Amino acid sequence: MNNHLPGVFIVSDSIGETAEMVVRAAASQFNSGSMEIRQVPNISDTETLEEIINQAAASNFIIAYTLVINELADFLKMEARKKGVICVDVLGPVIEALKSVSDIEPRREPGLLRKVDEMYYRRVEAVEFAVRYDDGKDPRGVMQADIVLVGVSRTSKTPLSMYLAHKRIKVANVPLVPEVAPPEEIFQVEKGKVIGLVINPEQLNQIRTERLKTLGLKGQASYANLERILEEMEYAEDIMKRLGCPVINVTNRAVEETASKIMEIYYRRLSHV
């Protein structure tokens, strides 16, 4: 009786991470020490499969595979059976079950899971970026951002940055305040990357007044004073003219609606790069 687990070839037409994860999870159920795993990723021809089958037969290995291309999977199953090599299809049964219930034909495209993972990590990276470079905290983010939002306080810069981050777009935002010169970086980035946000003064007055109330402060503070707001907006509009940047009026707009306009500008710029 052999008290050791057999070695396993991990065979895939992508990078084989899924099959390796399943094999290691299964092996963890056995108290038998280490197990040899040999990965063979990016399989695209039957000759390589035949060589793996021969090695598996000679070394008493089993084969765990994720081959979504039918021709390769069928060849592997048939040839392994001839050589007496045990083959385990990691994805196939689940794909077939989903197909039979949904009546939808699978795409049979290698590497789709990796693409999904990459999209997830890009989203996380963009969210972390938006937090790090929120409200002009670090002007270095301006040069690294996909989009830079500028505007006076309470023009939805932060909510928009986070919303766009979930679309995997890196956004830095910079508040425009008369007493504080904007970072030089916003004048150095490529044209079209900076987008200005403006709002109706009366609506901004209401938003700021409500904001002060939630903080337990008096609504008469200069932050919510209409004269002060008009001063800030005049200053911000002068900066936006100097930048020559696109400007979006966010008055009565939902964040999603403004974000859609921003993405339209962003992708239009990319298409001309």
**pLDDT at res. 219:** 55
Two structure tokens written together for 25:
């999870």
Query: Do residues 128 and 219 both lie within one domain?
Result: yes
Cα–Cα distance list, 111 to 24, 41, 94 (Å) = 20, 11, 16
Query: Do residues 35 and 101 both lie within one domain?
Result: yes
- The answer to whether 156 and 196 are in contact (CB under 8 A) is no
Residue that terminates a domain, selected from 79, 110, 141: 110
Enclosing domain of residue 180: 121-271
Query: Do residues 65 and 136 both lie within one domain?
Result: no
pTM of the model: 0.61
Q: State yes or no: pLDDT of 125 exceeds 50.
A: yes
Query: Do residues 195 and 155 both lie within one domain?
Result: yes
Residue at 3 is within a domain: no
Query: Do residues 212 and 147 both lie within one domain?
Result: yes
Query: Do residues 105 and 34 both lie within one domain?
Result: yes
Q: State yes or no: pLDDT of 41 exceeds 90.
A: no
Domains contained in the chain, number: 2
Query: Do residues 128 and 80 both lie within one domain?
Result: no
pLDDT band at 3 (very low <50, low <70, confident <90, very high): low
**pLDDT at res. 189:** 94
Residue at 227 is within a domain: yes
The CATH number linked to 204 is: 3.40.50
Query: Do residues 93 and 135 both lie within one domain?
Result: no
pLDDT band at 188 (very low <50, low <70, confident <90, very high): very high
Burial 135-144 (b: 16+ CB within 10 A, else e): ebeebebbee
Query: Do residues 226 and 175 both lie within one domain?
Result: yes
Query: Do residues 177 and 253 both lie within one domain?
Result: yes
Residue at 155 is within a domain: yes
Query: Do residues 13 and 126 both lie within one domain?
Result: no
Q: State yes or no: pLDDT of 4 exceeds 80.
A: no
